[in-house]
Amino acid sequence: MKARIQYKGKFQVSVKWLEKLKDASFDEALDKAGDEMVAALAAASPVRTGELRDSWKKELVHNASGSAIHITNDAHKDELSRSSMGRGKYASIVYLIENGHGVGKNGKKGYVPPRPFVKEAVADVMSNFKDEVEEMINDV
């Protein structure tokens, strides 16, 4: 089967729209989504001491290819750096809770099952962010 595509025109309208879109800033939407993600993750975090819930942070990062939002959590970093991971290395408590992990002390071994919460916590925020960006693109 063969396909043939024909086009006519100069695409000036499309080029102008793409130029406007290139200069558009999505930082406000990214910043808002970051705040919403931090709130959603804090609300969904399992709480024993409250450190995990209270340690969510966001950072809006700019580089040559654009902007990005970084969401981090360094709860229990000091305790985890003393684990068998090695000097200067630590496993994120978020990763351990999300995926489960083995435990061992005094010759006893066991397993802590996963308690996933991250993906579900940010799903609505990501959907709303996608809708907001699509609306911003359509308004350009």
Strand segments, DSSP code E, in 7-135 are 56-63, 66-73, 101-105, 108-112
Write down the pTM of the prediction: 0.74
Q: Residue 36: its pLDDT value, please?
A: 95
- Residue-wise pLDDT tens digits, 81-121: 555 555 555 668 888 899 898 887 777 889 989 999 999 99
Q: Would you place residue 34 in the very low, low, confident or very high pLDDT band (cuts 50, 70, 90)?
A: very high
For the range 43-46, what are the long-range contacts, defined as Cβ-Cβ under 8 Å and sequence gap of 24 or more?
43/121, 44/117, 44/118, 44/120, 44/121, 45/117, 46/97, 46/115, 46/117
- Residue-wise pLDDT tens digits, 41-75: 999 999 988 999 999 999 999 888 888 899 999 88
